[in-house]
Structure 1
């Protein structure tokens, strides 16, 4: 008979006694499971806490928090934990499609979280299995950075409902096979948060939760190397606070106080918040601003090694108490940095499970503007491999602006000038470039660097608004084709493709974006419109309309994708240079055979030679286009013929 599992040896006897007390009323089989999980994740937990002077002591504190959360976890969530432990790749599967929205803009007006549940049928119709609702925890009063200045992690915004409403929503979604993702802002809290209020009241314990300096000496040293995130809105990285009687670190806005993650008390507080949200039925946490949490003099204070160590420890705590919870890193950084958020080296597969593939979004828009795939093929092709247990979040648009993250070295590799190309993209998508149909808005123009980011809905950026205004059916056709091509690339790249709310019916920019006073200075609200339900009904009823074609196209993509094992996230995407710069190609090698994705990024027909296809393991005259179930169109000499903005997914029949 096997001996009963025991607590790890390094655990102090006093910690063991407290753990036993917490779990005293837990059924025996569940107590055994908890002890086994602690044994499994102990090393990850302690090594992740290495930035602190006494990692084992901090680990003991965290295990008490985890045991309490485990004890209080609902039976239904314990069952979900068991299921996900048997299906750890659930989020990597090709049938998983995501959707992102603001809750109040997805639900019928005034219905809050209860109204989001009314949209479940719509989401399932699109194949959605993952729903990301933008920040809905209680923020400070406006301005609040779109909800990212959190005043209370344990309360839902009053206009959306209560924490019980959130639990009811997660139960409804779970019953429909949809996992809820929420934002957890790690780097900072609102000035009105209880911790900040206590600090302002003179509590030294809570003052140590923040980076506070009596004068400008240290802040000035840090700012020698710190970039400004919002140079227009909030220049500088420190703010003087009269009540605090000090300069407090404020990376984003003066009302968002950076947390001092070098203080283990902060780590324990945030771990407890993670476990609290997991017990509400949240299945994915978007770790917002994670790149900024560790500060080091002489650096830009982003992507420091301790960020990945602490994420590993946070993940270990979650795996012990609620293993169905996964992490998504919000790190919009370069290729060589972003892969670390999915785990490289000693953190391989031990940090976040998901990360944003911001570069894919940027390169899709670049291809559509230039009608040239060479830069995208080179830039995306140099991404290091990520752990096979993780997945990219891929997307065409999101809630944020588009920053033209074009690396100068990548541009030079294809005989282009990086700065000039970034300027061209800003001109093109703001409609300033001659002949551009795009209707984007310039966001945060920085005259010193020339940086001009772009706001705008996907449909407006592909020129649908211009085409409709000009009553030009041909231009409408081209705009719809560009929009669907962009999303086909997103759905075919692997990982979790995420639809931004409104894109499914080709919604245009919200012309009234500035009507809400707190939005008036932030044109990103132009591409955050309320979901136009009448437009959804039109899309369903009129298949020939622009919105109908986009809606049907996206539903079809989800169905096709679900049937292709090649699109499991563990299968890497290989970027392959084609013989034609107007064709973008992605190859995915799977034991059932290769999937070759071809995308004509131009309005002119293109050809792909048969010999080139054969070299990649497929025969053009015997392959099938999975997107329509038929053989591809071939020219007289056997080349694959691609029409205007046509995507083709070639597989063996």
Structure 2
């Protein structure tokens, strides 16, 4: 192996060869340990190193420089000045402009402080239906309507020049039935048949399905699909056209490792590892979060560190808090798995607080999330491309004298507008009558009630009705900004979902595209409304204008606060007033206390309680406005309707 590596690296100057070998020495143990699920981990590690050497040799000089810079600044994605943005490329760019049009949005992104851009799946999928692009038919081609791989490389270069890192999805669990590996398997090539889980009859699938949950019970029940060409049942966790890969086959590991290195060499800096929780299959389990998943991810990360250390991994693991922390590394994998992971619980709890005007469940649930390695970061967000599943743990609910099942029903009723007094305009997604589960689709502004408020304003027949409607608009705007203040103030890497920055509502025409008609999540995936952006810029008093200004202000203040570096843990603490959500961050420069009024009514936190957390109110400043906090006569901190306060030492 040593001779083959030397041959691969020979065209490079001596210092480049030395750097590669030093990285191998640094990461070899992590690579080898991660490959222990295979019978001969040493042989697999050797194959993987050859792939890494080839990718390293072919890496552009500009990317080598980025690698060196990131090696000196490994915390770049943890820094408080980093804000993220997520969008579908074709919905962010002007219609028909593809990846070139995305480059034209850089000015808009920089206004928001964006340093990280996540473009939703854009590698070549199968023809529709394709699960929103997650049924990939070719990892090395870009969707034809967006451009070419050369266009992607050019976009990455442009973004990098503006200080913005490009994040792309890499689906690890499955490929489309039309992917060349699946085509070869259907053609009878045994090597590629072994890339998938194929069974001649229902005996083994039935044993597996006894413990497997269904992901899409409405339109893709079951986890196996009969394929005539294969003459077998193939594992299909998500849809019949998405074939699960057999990660117990080391050939599959090497194939995906090569894809990781290929995308890294296109200038991709963050890889979102999609459906990562499902990689390893074990009879009698839910086939999620198995230990081998963390081992193999560690091996992939070590390999990327050798060839392209500028690249970081983001785990798309929407699982229970006790499980998700393992994707950032626990125990022997501490800090060795992914660098980023989604804090799904934070999103769920923010919406829960806004619905019930009570912070107790959120405080308890979020406080018991295990600590994560100080070298990693949560992705925090108010909305994303997906539906909201009400992941409220029954034990957490009982701890605050609530009923978990009842609360989940309440949240679905509230955000679908069925609960009396609710102004939310969400849509029920994937109602499961067997479990009562009803997930919710909807944009942040629509869930916050802005659509209902604007409808009231349009219908107002007199001054009193108009004033009431204006008040409802004010409340909806305040809810959106409060939600984002929690997200920005929690630490980690906050990500804006496209359109939220100008309070876009649900897309009324979401079903007009035939392949979207059966999936109401497209209601909250609208094209970025450029008219609304212009309105936000021109009319600061409008709802879009206030949200736009508020989001920019949050980013500016956040960048000035070292307390919000992701290495500083967020500690939810129970405030004396249940209407206030409180988060403490202990930094060497002094503590930061985030206080968030989750109600329409004014609230107050006693001065003695604030003082107990290291911040005498009279010696503190609210970083969000630069002034001392509003104190009541008895020294308590006063919070107005839906007000966020970031207290630090004056």
Assess same fold via TM > 0.5.
yes
| In structure 2, distance between residues paired with 1:36 and 1:611 | 54
**SS of match in other structure, 1:206:** helix
The equivalences for 1:73-222 within 5 A come to 73-222=59-208
Following TM superposition, the consecutive aligned residue runs of length 4 or more in structure 1 with deviations greater than 3 angstroms are none
| Aligned counterpart, 2:553 | 556
| Aligned counterpart, 1:278 | 264
Choose which of 200, 213, 224 in structure 1 pairs with 2:210: 224
The equivalences for 1:575-586 within 5 A come to 575-586=572-583
* Cα deviation 1:191-241 (Å, max 9, x = unaligned): 000000000000000000000000000000000000000000100000000
| In structure 1, distance between residues paired with 2:636 and 2:617 | 7
| In structure 2, distance between residues paired with 1:612 and 1:41 | 47
Choose which of 380, 391, 394 in structure 2 pairs with 1:408: 394
| In structure 1, distance between residues paired with 2:487 and 2:352 | 14
| In structure 1, distance between residues paired with 2:435 and 2:153 | 46
Deviation for aligned residue 1:621? 1.2
| In structure 2, distance between residues paired with 1:539 and 1:578 | 35
Choose which of 539, 542, 545 in structure 1 pairs with 2:542: 545
Choose which of 518, 522, 543 in structure 1 pairs with 2:519: 522
Choose which of 2, 20, 39 in structure 2 pairs with 1:53: 39
Gaps of 5+ in 2: 458-468
Question: Are 1:606 and 2:603 counterparts?
Answer: yes
| Aligned counterpart, 1:448 | 434
Deviation for aligned residue 1:57? 0.5
| Aligned counterpart, 1:569 | 566
| Aligned counterpart, 1:5 | none
Choose which of 322, 344, 347 in structure 2 pairs with 1:358: 344
Question: Are 1:473 and 2:453 counterparts?
Answer: no
State the number of aligned residues.
Answer: 639
| Aligned counterpart, 1:10 | none
Choose which of 599, 618, 631 in structure 2 pairs with 1:621: 618
| In structure 2, distance between residues paired with 1:516 and 1:245 | 34
| Aligned counterpart, 2:222 | 236
| In structure 2, distance between residues paired with 1:589 and 1:52 | 43
| In structure 2, distance between residues paired with 1:632 and 1:173 | 39
* Cα deviation 1:517-549 (Å, max 9, x = unaligned): 000000000000000011001100100000000
Choose which of 296, 304, 308 in structure 2 pairs with 1:318: 304
**SS of match in other structure, 1:393:** strand
Deviation for aligned residue 1:589? 0.5
| Aligned counterpart, 1:11 | none
* Cα deviation 1:322-358 (Å, max 9, x = unaligned): 0000000000011110000000000000000000000
| In structure 1, distance between residues paired with 2:162 and 2:252 | 36
**SS of match in other structure, 1:184:** strand
**SS of match in other structure, 2:484:** helix
| Aligned counterpart, 2:463 | none
Alpha-carbon RMSD: 0.3
Deviation for aligned residue 1:456? 0.3
The equivalences for 1:326-405 within 5 A come to 326-405=312-391
Question: Are 1:438 and 2:424 counterparts?
Answer: yes
| Aligned counterpart, 1:500 | 497
| In structure 1, distance between residues paired with 2:33 and 2:113 | 39
**SS of match in other structure, 1:470:** helix
| Aligned counterpart, 2:288 | 302
Deviation for aligned residue 1:646? 0.4
| Aligned counterpart, 2:466 | none
| Aligned counterpart, 2:279 | 293
Deviation for aligned residue 1:160? 0.1
| In structure 1, distance between residues paired with 2:605 and 2:578 | 11
Choose which of 596, 613, 618 in structure 1 pairs with 2:593: 596
TM-score, normalised to structure 1's length? 0.98
Deviation for aligned residue 1:423? 0.1
The equivalences for 1:253-272 within 5 A come to 253-272=239-258
Choose which of 228, 231, 237 in structure 2 pairs with 1:245: 231
| In structure 2, distance between residues paired with 1:434 and 1:531 | 32
TM-score, normalised to structure 2's length? 0.98
Gaps of 5+ in 1: 1-14
**SS of match in other structure, 1:524:** helix
The equivalences for 1:65-80 within 5 A come to 65-80=51-66
| In structure 2, distance between residues paired with 1:291 and 1:107 | 31
| In structure 2, distance between residues paired with 1:19 and 1:617 | 56
| Aligned counterpart, 2:465 | none
Choose which of 485, 488, 493 in structure 1 pairs with 2:485: 488
| In structure 2, distance between residues paired with 1:85 and 1:591 | 24
| In structure 2, distance between residues paired with 1:605 and 1:39 | 59
* Cα deviation 1:402-431 (Å, max 9, x = unaligned): 000000000000000000000000000000
| Aligned counterpart, 1:4 | none
Deviation for aligned residue 1:17? 1.1
Deviation for aligned residue 1:59? 0.4
| Aligned counterpart, 1:38 | 24
Deviation for aligned residue 1:622? 1.6
